[in-house]
Amino acid sequence: MTDLSHIHRFVPGNRHGATPLLLLHGTGGDENDLLPLGQAVAPGASLLSPRGQILENGMPRFFRRLAEGVFDEDDLRRRAHQLADFVNDARNRYDLPAPIALGYSNGANIAAAVLQLRPEVLSGAILHRAMVPLRDPPAVDLAGKPVLIVSGQMDPIIPASNAERLAVALAKSGADVQHRTLPIGHQLSQADVTVAQQWLRDIEFAKDAAA
Ligand code: MLT
């Protein structure tokens, strides 16, 4: 689909009450990449999967960077707002409640930035291999938003201290953060799927119990 701001795929769900997922790919990925992960993590949920609008040497990304792990923060802020606007437009088009973002690497980083800049568009986030996106984020109220951060102990791109700083910052803003570190590297693994599936089941169970 191309007439919203982002090229994207939308896969309608068939499980009543399942929170939709906003799938955000890593550098060099596209809107097709994370559909199998989304289906595995949240069977039957609607999936909304945009493609990042930046090209770095032909590889799609969600925002510009100056070097690996060094972000162009002006661009990141602008792109995070554009992505938030896309989510709002797509929610109207497809009649969706606020999604949980499921992002990997570059996609996890913009998801964290959207949480800090436009928290109302997401109902939570699953961040695989995320790092601190903004050096100086605005004060934000994330009270009650569930966030899962899944880091890799052997990740050569993201220092453990950086992922931990993100977890602490989001928790200080009130998010209900769970930070898991797996004995793996930067690539996604089956363990990512299992951890995210279990976390989401717990979240949905708690939501149903509270309803
Ligand atoms: C980023 O640029 O968002 C991070 O360096 C991770 C990556 O996409 O390689």
Beta bridge mates, 150? 128, 180
From the CA of 93, how far away is ligand 1's center (Å)? 30
Give the residue, out of 54, 61, 64, 65, with the most ligand 1 atoms within 8 A of its beta carbon, to mutate for a pocket test: 65
Contact 170, 112 (CB under 8 A): yes
Assign 100 to helix, strand or coil: strand
Q: How confident is the model at residue 207 (pLDDT cuts 50, 70, 90)?
A: confident
Query: Two tokens at 153?
Result: 């102990």
| Residue-level pLDDT at 2 | 56
pLDDT digits (tens, 9 = 90+) for 83-99: 999 999 999 999 999 99
| Residue-level pLDDT at 208 | 81
pLDDT digits (tens, 9 = 90+) for 178-198: 999 999 999 999 999 999 999
Please give the positions annotated as active site: 105, 155, 186
Shortest-distance atom of ligand 1 to CA 131: 4
Query: Is 69 touching ligand 1 by the criterion CB < 6 Å?
Result: yes
Shortest-distance atom of ligand 1 to CA 110: 3
Beta bridge mates, 142? none
pTM to 2 decimal places: 0.97
Domain ranges of the chain: 8-210
From the CA of 15, how far away is ligand 1's center (Å)? 33
Between 209 and 110, the more confident residue is 110
| Residue-level pLDDT at 1 | 55
pLDDT digits (tens, 9 = 90+) for 15-71: 999 999 999 999 999 999 999 999 999 999 999 999 999 999 999 999 999 998 899
Contact 9, 165 (CB under 8 A): no
Shortest-distance atom of ligand 1 to CA 109: 3
Number of continuous H segments (helices) and E segments (strands) in the chain: 5, 11
pLDDT digits (tens, 9 = 90+) for 95-127: 999 999 999 999 999 999 999 999 999 999 999
Superfamily classification of domain 8-210: Alpha/Beta hydrolase fold, catalytic domain (3.40.50.1820)
Query: What is the share, in percent, of the chain residues with pLDDT greater than 90?
Result: 93
